[in-house]
Chain A
Amino acid sequence: MKSVFFTGKGGVGKSTLSAAAGWQLAEKGKRVLVTSFDPAHNLGDIFGEKLSHAIRRYKKTSLFLQETDLEQSARAYLKSSMGVLEEVYSYTKAFNMDKYFKILRYSPGVEEYAALVAMEHLFREEGEIFDYIIIDTPPTGLTLRILALPKVTLAWLERLVEIRREILDKRHTIHLITGKYDEKGTKLPYTEEEDAVMRKLKEMQNRYEKVLSCLTSEDNNIALVCNPDFLSLKESQRLVTGTKELGLPLRTLFLNKVEDQNEDIAKHVEEILTTDLPNTSVKRVPLLRHDAPACYIMDTDITDALGLSP
């Protein structure tokens, strides 16, 4: 499975290029999933279809479409966590946990985490089924936070595992001296296999390492979409810096909406960005004159610039 993240400033044409890439790859016989992570979806508008969280086949082709509902992802995840909570503390069944979900959407970080959960699910489940997964991302700020999350989470998990290991070491020492675990005789686990917290930490570590390895792998491409204008250039530069810091592979630069009138600016933007991105392939895409839903009529073949082997 190969994956492409279309990133860039809002309104530069990420969704259009994602849709076009998906359509063109499907035309070449590939099984493709195009999914939108942008909370303000317009993938459905481009194809003239009503899309939802459920993956849907587009007109009997090998192209599949989805508008990821981040809130639903977060709810599904929290529900599974609450399920474990109910198993451990049966009295929580008395509470109606569902009513808390409504306010959780406003919790800090939930949107990013929901996107991470959806991304992990994509790589794990859909990666087996599709040749290509194309992800239409939200504007730069949120995208960078989502892409940074596996690395940040792993750094925290590493520290927590270290502390937990020290705790288990101390418990083991006490067990060796006294033959029991706690002063009140409570049985506290002292091996990594017995300790549920350590097991959970390692399971999470394993999960995020997999996501990170998918993001940094040869089969992944962070494609940057930029328009020939100053604001788009500035935001693209922030994205270039961000992906460099995270060690993510930015392989393609799409200069979108290039016309005769803005040719000079496009050249200037390209020069600036390619100085920061020496090994990146650049593709110019002219302004699309057709109205949606007609992205698949796009004449420019953009799949050759994706930098992923066929």
Chain B
Amino acid sequence: MIFLSSCEGPDALLINIVHKDGSVTRKVILTYTKDEFDLSDCQVPVDSTWNISRGYDISEKGDTTYSLTAVKKFESVDDINSMYSGYGGPNHEMKRDAAFDKKFRWFNTVYRYSENIEKVINGIPPEDFFSPEELDFFYMPDKLEKARLNEPDSIRIKETILNPLEEKTEDWLARSLINDLLLKIADTVKVNTDIEIDTTKLLAVRDSLKASDFFWEMDEEESIDSLLGEGFYSRNKAVLKNLVNAVENEFEVAFNAESYIVQTSMPGDLMDTNGYIDDEGNVIWKVDGEVILSADYEMWVESKTRNTWSWIVTAVFVLFVISGLIIRLTRK
């Protein structure tokens, strides 16, 4: 969908290399057709304190693409979160933070790294709207989707999942916006007793609406009156205008979001994740307006490393006990 992703500006790949002590080496690779990179315009926080190198690639057809690679090591996720809070770039309205956790489980140490982005509107969470197969492609980065379509049964995937998913996504977007607007109206009604409305009927109306008509066929007054009754908009114009503006402003955070790809590599062996795993064992997610619209978006991954000394201590202890029991039996 072209609706909630940007075309202009460099493409960004953010690579997190998580270390056992919780430090993270971050690498940002920007790719563009011009050798013009503005770090303040980057999708993720990057500044002059990073180690920056530039390069270019000339394809077989003679097309030149330029790249900028920025690398920095952060001693902890707190430093990453400080960067996010001080960020003023195009995605500055996204509320992002990173978290790292390490748990000692005797035989293994389990590491968990996550990056979280708060939802933008009180819409319908994708998990409540799409099927598991559709969700798989909903969250899949476009580049991986293309790789998946190179595999067998790509025609089946395109016809049974991708094409219906496009239409459903349009419907989901519209319904999410309606949901947010209705919840705002319901909250306003609770506070402002001048507005008379039956909030239970209000939320029941949302499911009966044809969402695409609501946004693409009706103007603002028609939309509101279709939800709340004839004349409601003109009677409460000031309040409703503010609410609609608030929804639009929130939606713009997703609409204007500059998309990027996040790739994370963890210490030890991968155990679990909600991302996609490439050939090198890295975990990949996409970040764009759609995934952050209606639900908090958590990109998490867990891995483990073996605690060799504890395996040895345990083996020695178990063998010692077994030997003692055997010796006692033989003595008897």
- Are these two chains actual partners, yes or no? no
Interface residues of A (CB under 8 A from B): none
Interface residues of B (CB under 8 A from A): none
